[in-house]
Amino acid sequence: MVERRDYNILIKKDGKFYTGYCLEIPQARGQGNTKTEAIQDTKQAIKLCKSYIESKKKNSASKLVTVSV
């Protein structure tokens, strides 16, 4: 199970659309006609990215190295 946590989304007006950028997962981006749509689309992108990351961790467990910075 993927843990639940808070993420920060930066919303920018891009022409006639709004774009959402997740600060903690740069690959997670979304867009919409309104800020609300951009937030919802970015939340979905975050979920997809988290799922992908978790599957990579499971499939690469013997090669995975965890470090603290």
pLDDT digit string (tens) for 4-62? 899 999 999 989 999 999 999 999 999 999 999 999 999 999 999 999 988 888 887 67
- pLDDT computed for residue 20 by the predictor: 98
Please tell me whether residue 1 adopts helix, strand or coil conformation: coil
60 inside domain: no
24 inside domain: yes
Q: Which domain holds residue 35?
A: 9-53
37 inside domain: yes
1 inside domain: no
> Of 16, 18, 62, which is closest to residue 36 (Cα–Cα)?
18
Our count of domains for the chain comes to: 1
**Residues 6+ positions from 54 with CB-CB distance below 8 Å:** 2
Range list of H helices, 1-69: 35-59
> CA-CA distance, 37 to 15, in Å (whole number)?
15
17 inside domain: yes
69 inside domain: no
For 24, other C-beta atoms within 10 Å of its C-beta total 12
67 inside domain: no
